[in-house]
A = this chain, B = another copy of it.
Amino acid sequence: MDRWRGTGMDATAQGELLLHRLARFANLSPQEVALVTSLAAKTEEFSAGTELVAEGQSLDTPRLLISGWACRFRMLPDGRRQIFEFILPGDVYGLCLRPQAIALTTAIALTPVCIADAAALGDAIINKSDEYPGLTAACHSTASLEEAYLLNQLMRVGRQTAYERTAHLILELHERLSIVGLADETTVAIPLTQEIMADALGLSVVHLNRTLQQLRRNQLIEFKSGQVRLLQPEQLAQLADFRPPRVSQITRAAA
């Protein structure tokens, strides 16, 4: 399966994905940059399918996803599954800004993943937010973004057609991966089986397959072996009513 083909980044670069994202939301001091960079020091590997968070588990061990994809989902008794959100490289999971919270959903690895302990990050923004103002603000913005993605997901699944929602999800994944430097203007690696995408989109595999074919036939995307190329990003964005979320009033001072 070359679905899981790497991005060609070395380990150091991968450890800095999170930094890319956080730096969009706030100016980080050298001390803050050092903290984030140091997270990638000790990492663990897990295979696809590994349970990363169990529903009901205490949310007190924040972790940084260095590489690979994961997701949060829930299942109905008869096996129907709804994927709530994808966890992408550079995302932190298992971190809740509310103390004593417990996980509302299970999270599993969708591909082989590499994970780092982010306890230092959680400690910094929860207990020492005065020392780490930039990190704290950036993590708060990130939390808002996650909520915005959840609302997007609800909008897709509740009110958009299969065609629209498939396009919308692809655009959202492209945007999220662009932010951490894992996608260029028109190309992005999406290492998901159609079954997984279908469970995220609330569609059957067969119907998603036909919907993807329709997008290809209409010259809107190319999609093979996990690589997606956006052929007409503007048309896609328009048909899917895709608009990047505005999340925080804090504007980053200077570049």
Instruction: Count this chain's copies in the assembly.
Output: 2
Residue of B nearest to A56 (CB): B246
Flag whether A132 is at the interface (Cβ < 8 A).
Answer: no
Residue of B nearest to A98 (CB): B140
Contact B246 A102 (CB under 8 A): yes
- Residue of B84, B102, B249, B250 near A249 (CB, 8 A) is B102
Residues of B within 8 A of A80 (CB): 159-160
Residues of B within 8 A of A81 (CB): 159
Interface size class of A (residues with CB under 8 A): 35 or more
Q: In the complex, how many angstroms separate the beta carbon of A198 from the nearest chain B beta carbon? A: 10
Contact A158 B248 (CB under 8 A): no
Knowing A99-B140, A140-B99, A202-B158, the reply to whether A147 touches B76 (Cβ < 8 A) is: no
Residue of B nearest to A139 (CB): B98
Flag whether A155 is at the interface (Cβ < 8 A).
Answer: yes
Residues of B within 8 A of A100 (CB): 137, 140, 248-250
Knowing A101-B248, A250-B100, the reply to whether A154 touches B144 (Cβ < 8 A) is: no
The interface of chain A, by Cβ under 8 A from chain B, is: 56, 58, 74, 76-77, 80-82, 84, 96-102, 104-105, 137, 140-141, 143-144, 147-148, 150-151, 153-155, 157-160, 201-202, 241, 245-250
A-B contacts, 12 of them at CB < 8 A, read A76-B160, A82-B158, A96-B144, A99-B137, A100-B137, A100-B248, A101-B144, A102-B248, A102-B249, A104-B245, A150-B151, A158-B202
